[in-house]
């Protein structure tokens, strides 16, 4: 069964003077997915999110959002909500007043908007401070209130720039819960972050941008296969036997220097996925229990670091 695109970008280019912020970007976003946007500083993430929110127009290329071509005029397409560079809040208004003003702007009357506002505040965990002025809010609370503001509009495409900034574990849990629910209900979420753990926990797809160009775009699990060799941490019932097996398996390299900082029980090996599969099979055949096997650095972070290193080498 085919899936309809929520965003379709082809050859989108955006320049600011001599600086090329986006260079021929192709992007497809599907409904009900949480899509991560990763890249070093200056990669063009915020510019791309700004285009999706209608804050800027591309210099060239085609961009369609929710099936409608984006014109040359600045205007956020209908069904799109979110924020870039932090949520916009008015510090002299309370959290509830901020949302009520936004709801009134959208034509919702105060009586019908009230339960929605209360629901949105509860969902992001701000019920207790609903009547406090936003002036005193921490960054994490501001992020959550910004997300609540976006929820009021029932978006089909939610665009968030670094939504995890400043969030404590409880706030993170609220935000993750909201985004997961939205995606389950069919909303497409696109978010940028430098927090790879957040992206890996939330996203089904990622796009890696560097110097305005798409370096990878696709499912997260595909990234592991397409990226270079990764280091994995292995805990087993027989560390020494496991070390010997690993050393004798083709495509596996034991990272000896890791013993000093991982401890004698842990083994760190460097491998691509097929070789790793063989090692696991060999361990099982040797009656060695595998207690833990996880990448030392996540595939996403590894890809990101590889890109950064490549950029530095190019420079």
* Residue number, 186 or 248, with CB nearest to another protein: 186
Nearer to another protein, 204 or 258 (CB): 204
Q: Which of 311, 30, 35 is nearest to 192 (CA)?
A: 35
CB closer to another protein out of 258 and 311? 311
Give min distance, CB of 266 to another protein, in A.
33
Which class for 118: exposed (0-12), middle (13-18), buried (19 or more C-beta within 10 A)? middle
For residue 208, give the 3-state DSSP assignment: strand
Q: How far apart are CA 235 and CA 296, in angstroms?
A: 12
Of 77 and 125, the one with the shorter C-beta distance to another protein is 77
> Is residue 139 helix, strand or coil?
helix
Which neighbouring-strand residues pair with 210?
213
Beta carbon of residue 203, minimum distance to another protein (angstroms, whole number): 13
Q: Is 7 exposed, middle or buried (0-12, 13-18, 19+ CB in 10 A)?
A: buried
Strand partners, 218: 206
Nearer to another protein, 51 or 276 (CB): 51
Q: How many CB atoms lie within 10 A of CB 188?
A: 24
Residue among 144 and 156 whose Cβ is closer to another protein: 156
Tell me the closest approach of the beta carbon of residue 290 to another protein, in angstroms: 31
Residues at the site binding another protein, with contacts judged by CB under 8 A: 2-6, 8, 16, 26-28, 30-31, 47, 50, 53-56, 64-68, 74-93, 97, 101-102, 104-107, 146, 149, 156, 205, 213-219, 226
Length of the chain, in residues: 315
* Nearest CB to another protein, comparing residues 45 and 243: 45
Q: By C-alpha distance, which of 125, 119, 130 is closest to 95?
A: 130
CB of 19 to another protein, least distance (A): 10
Distance from C-alpha of 189 to C-alpha of 32, rounded to nearest angstrom: 7
For residues 83 and 43, give the distance between their C-alpha atoms in angstroms, rounded to a whole number.
18
Instruction: State the minimum distance, in angstroms, from the CB of residue 79 to another protein.
Output: 5
Q: Are 315 and 221 in contact (CB under 8 A)?
A: no
């Amino acid at each position: 069964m085919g899936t309809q695109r929520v965003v379709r970008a082809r050859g989108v280019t955006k320049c600011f003077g001599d600086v090329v912020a986006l260079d021929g970007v192709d992007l497809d976003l599907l409904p009900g997915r949480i899509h991560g946007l990763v890249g070093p500083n200056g990669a063009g993430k915020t510019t791309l999110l700004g285009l999706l929110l209608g804050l800027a127009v591309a210099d060239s290329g085609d961009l369609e959002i929710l099936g409608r071509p984006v014109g040359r005029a600045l205007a956020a397409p209908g069904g799109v909500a979110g924020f870039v560079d932090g949520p916009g809040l008015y510090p002299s208004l309370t959290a509830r007043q901020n949302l009520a003003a936004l709801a009134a702007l959208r034509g919702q009357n105060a009586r019908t908007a009230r339960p929605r506002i209360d629901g949105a505040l509860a969902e992001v965990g701000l019920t207790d401070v609903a009547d406090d002025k936003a002036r005193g809010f921490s960054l994490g609370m501001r992020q959550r209130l910004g997300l609540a503001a976006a929820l009021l509009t029932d978006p089909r495409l939610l665009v968030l720039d670094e939504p995890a900034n400043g969030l404590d574990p409880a706030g993170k849990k609220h935000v993750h819960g909201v985004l997961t629910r939205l995606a389950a209900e069919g909303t497409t979420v696109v978010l940028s972050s430098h927090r790879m753990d957040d992206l890996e926990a939330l996203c089904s797809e990622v796009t890696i941008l560097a110097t305005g160009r798409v370096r990878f775009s696709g499912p997260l699990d595909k990234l592991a296969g397409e990226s270079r060799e990764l280091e994995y941490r292995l805990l087993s019932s027989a560390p020494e036997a496991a070390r010997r097996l690993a050393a004798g398996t083709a495509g596996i390299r034991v990272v000896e220097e890791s013993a000093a900082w991982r401890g004698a029980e842990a083994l760190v090996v460097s491998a691509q996925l097929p070789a790793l599969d063989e090692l696991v099979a060999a361990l099982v055949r040797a009656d060695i229990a595998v207690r833990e096997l996880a990448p030392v650095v996540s595939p996403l972070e590894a890809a990101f670091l590889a890109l950064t290193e490549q950029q530095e080498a190019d420079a």
